[in-house]
Amino acid sequence: PSAVVKKLFMQGKVVTINQEIDFETAEEIALEFNCICEHEEVIDVIAELLKEEEEAADTLVTRPPVVCVMGHVDHGKTSLLDAIRETHVTSKESGGITQKIGAYRVDVNGNTITFLDTPGHEAFTAMRMRGAQATDIAILVVAADDGVMPQTIEAINHAKAANVEIIVAVNKIDKPNANIEKVKQELTEYGLIAEDWGGSTIFCPVSAHTKEGIDNLLEMILLTAEIIELKANPNRKARGIVIEAELDKGRGPVATVLVQKGTLRVGDSVAAGSCYGKVRAMIDDTGRRVKEAGPSTPVEIQGLNDVPNAGEIIMAMDSDKEARNVAETFIAENKKKLLDDTKHKVSLDALFEQ
């Protein structure tokens, strides 16, 4: 508004911010601002795309829950995921492409659960920052012989900030010094109160070693998913989140993405943060080549022009040009933000100097 007022002032028209001007003047001004408008339009398009639009209820179908495993170092996150995978991954491709994808699906009595095997909290933090809901349920792993530790608390805070359901898996119950009750007592301090302690948090005692309690944990995940009613529209342009990405020597940039809405197809033009491209090939969590991936499906894609950051939102666009536009605007916006931040810092520094 101030720029418009200024422009009018330069033309000798003194106006206030809420004053009406005639059509011709408005048109003239609009034309003068045209180049900016175009840029702003793209930003508007991105903002619009990023907005969690309400979808008509009749387009939504039930989708599998997306679960991530969190907890303190050495409490058994990887062992627990391995134990689940050993017992519940149905299709194993022998001699297929090495399974390196950081996400996989398990089948529990005909129901699918998608697990995110994110290294550290990097991706999760990025997801949280963008307010994107990549995970529906967090499994908080606490070793029964060690109890609540600093990273346990950090994990609780991350999950709470992302508004994710928490299921506690009290692991290593096979150990002689395991103390499940102590873990329950310690977690009351963080608002995670077990049902037998008068709360509503699900606690599952498990052992990744003996596999005791694993089936119960999976059942609890499915039960929770049923209660929170997870739905998505598979019949729209895909939108998802980058779980991890790297530059592969032979294949170029490859990104593991979790499709959240819509269906991603080979041939789709996509934008992911500052990157764009056409999906050239897709590999699923078993190493098989697939043509399409629906909601809650993790896939590895090839065809991006560069390596996107974990946590970046990936969107299928109408055309290559549009995808490129979105990526370029993203870069421009980030640069501007960086510049603004620097300016801000400089002025703050100047302030402190005085």
Q: How far apart are CA 25 and CA 28, in angstroms?
A: 5
Q: How far apart are CA 268 and CA 315, in angstroms?
A: 10
Which of 171, 256, 260, 325 is in the footprint of ligand GTP by CB under 6 A?
A: 171
Q: Does 79 bind Mg ion (CB under 5 A)?
A: no
Sort strands 239-248 and 252-261 into parallel, antiparallel or unpaired: antiparallel
Q: Does 73 bind ligand GTP (CB under 6 A)?
A: yes
Angle formed at CA 75 by CA 69 and CA 79, multiple of 5 degrees: 65
Q: Does 63 bind ligand GTP (CB under 6 A)?
A: no
Q: Which residues contact residue 11 at a Cβ distance below 8 angstroms, ignoring those fewer than 6 apart?
A: none
> Of the two residues 78 and 305, which places its CB atom closer to Mg ion in the complex?
78
Q: Does 286 bind Mg ion (CB under 5 A)?
A: no
CB burial of 243-265 (b: ≥16 within 10 Å; e: otherwise) equals bbbeeeeeeebbbbbbbbbbbbe
| Closest approach of ligand GTP to the CB of residue 123, in Å | 14
| Closest approach of ligand GTP to the CB of residue 172, in Å | 4
Q: Does 233 bind ligand GTP (CB under 6 A)?
A: no
Q: Which residues contact residue 8 at a Cβ distance below 8 angstroms, ignoring those fewer than 6 apart?
A: 14, 15, 21, 25, 29
DSSP code, position 249: T
Select the span of 9-17, 72-80, 274-282, 284-292 touching ligand GTP (CB under 6 A). Answer: 72-80
> Of the two residues 207 and 256, which places its CB atom closer to ligand GTP in the complex?
207
> Of the two residues 171 and 256, which places its CB atom closer to ligand GTP in the complex?
171
With CB under 5 to 8 Å by kind, the binding choice for 13 among Mg ion, ligand GTP, none is none
Select the span of 20-28, 74-82, 185-193, 340-348 touching Mg ion (CB under 5 A). Answer: 74-82
Q: Does 151 bind Mg ion (CB under 5 A)?
A: no
Q: 184 and 148 in contact (C-beta within 8 Å)? A: no
Q: Does 209 bind ligand GTP (CB under 6 A)?
A: yes
Q: 69 and 77 in contact (C-beta within 8 Å)? A: yes
Q: Does 78 bind Mg ion (CB under 5 A)?
A: yes
Residues engaged in binding ligand GTP (CB under 6 A): 71, 73-79, 171-172, 174-175, 207-209
| Residues of the shown chain interacting with Mg ion in the complex, contacts defined by CB under 5 A | 77-78
